[in-house]
Chain A
Amino acid sequence: GAVVSQHPSRVICKSGTSVKIECRSLDFQATTMFWYRQFPKQSLMLMATSNEGSKATYEQGVEKDKFLINHASLTLSTLTVTSAHPEDSSFYICSARDQYGEKLFFGSGTQLSVL
């Protein structure tokens, strides 16, 4: 089956720094990728939809200047948390849609801890 690789799996950073998370589709072209955030013991909440070669579409309440998304190729989308603060600490998960549009494949997630 299709594989989505997400790195890093865990990152600890100081408040005010920026963190980049990568999401790669390893054996298929992903024209669309999705970024989710999951707080402890809660469900996954969609943050943004990332389309290759165009600007990301952000969900209501998600600051686009804080969560920068770049989808420059058909196999790579990146999420950069800029000027991270402790409240940004969360589990971030990406998913990629295959070319047929019927299935979504998830990355293994990134636990971000901001001190």
Chain B
Amino acid sequence: AQTVTQSQPEMSVQEAETVTLSCTYDTSENNYYLFWYKQPPSRQMILVIRQEAYKQQNATENRFSVNFQKAAKSFSLKISDSQLGDTAMYFCAFMNNNAGNMLTFGGGTRLMVKP
């Protein structure tokens, strides 16, 4: 079974600054995907970024980038130029391609962007 751990229950950052959210996972699989999802107060789950485990290059999406360390089983999310609209819960998630594609979520990090 996979486990996903987010060690920071809450984080805060000043608007326009950079913040990094941590995520570690445990698996014996080689073929998997990692995700970061954002859940704003509306509670709609929004995909922020996705990383394929077989790719060494870190994924980036505009202000969002990841630091994927496969050997260390670490998958942190960096948010640059933080905006007030980034305030939300952020969930790290793991998908095992060989086991039905369901997501296993970390406990979440509540991010507050301060003006």
Q: Is A93 an interface residue (CB 8 A)?
A: yes
Contact with B along A80-105 (1 / 0, CB 8 A): 00000000000101010100011110
Chain B residues with CB under 8 Å of A38's CB are: 43
Say which residue of B44, B103, B107, B108 sits within 8 Å of A104 (CB atoms): B103
How many B residues touch A, CB cutoff 8 Å? 19
Residues 21-58 of A at the B interface (beta carbon under 8 Å): 32, 34, 38, 42-46, 49, 57
Q: Give the interface SS of chain B, mostly helix, strand, loop or mixed.
A: loop
| Contact between A91 and B43, CB atoms less than 8 A apart | yes
* Contact between chains at A44 and B91 (CB < 8 Å): yes
Which parts of B14-68 form the interface with A (CB within 8 Å)? Answer: 33, 42-45, 47, 50
Query: In whole Å, how far is A49's beta carbon from the nearest beta carbon of chain B?
Result: 6
Q: Which residues of B are found within 8 Å of A49, using beta-carbon distances?
A: 100, 102
Contact yes or no, A106 B44, CB < 8 A: yes
Question: What are the 10 tightest A-B residue pairs by CB atom distance, in nearest-first order?
Answer: A106-B45, A43-B105, A44-B105, A43-B107, A43-B108, A109-B43, A108-B44, A97-B101, A34-B102, A46-B102
17 additional A-B residue pairs with CB within 8 Å, beyond A49-B102, A101-B97: A32-B100, A43-B105, A43-B107, A43-B108, A44-B45, A46-B102, A46-B104, A49-B100, A57-B100, A93-B45, A101-B101, A103-B50, A106-B44, A106-B45, A108-B43, A108-B44, A109-B43
User: Chain B: residues with CB nearer than 8 A to chain A?
Assistant: 33, 42-45, 47, 50, 91, 95, 97, 100-108
A interface vs B, CB < 8 Å? 32, 34, 38, 42-46, 49, 57, 91, 93, 95, 97, 101-104, 106, 108-109
Can you spell out 22 A-B residue pairs with CB atoms less than 8 angstroms apart? A38-B43, A42-B107, A43-B106, A43-B108, A44-B45, A44-B103, A45-B105, A46-B102, A46-B104, A57-B100, A93-B43, A93-B45, A95-B45, A97-B101, A101-B97, A101-B101, A102-B33, A103-B47, A104-B95, A106-B44, A108-B44, A109-B44
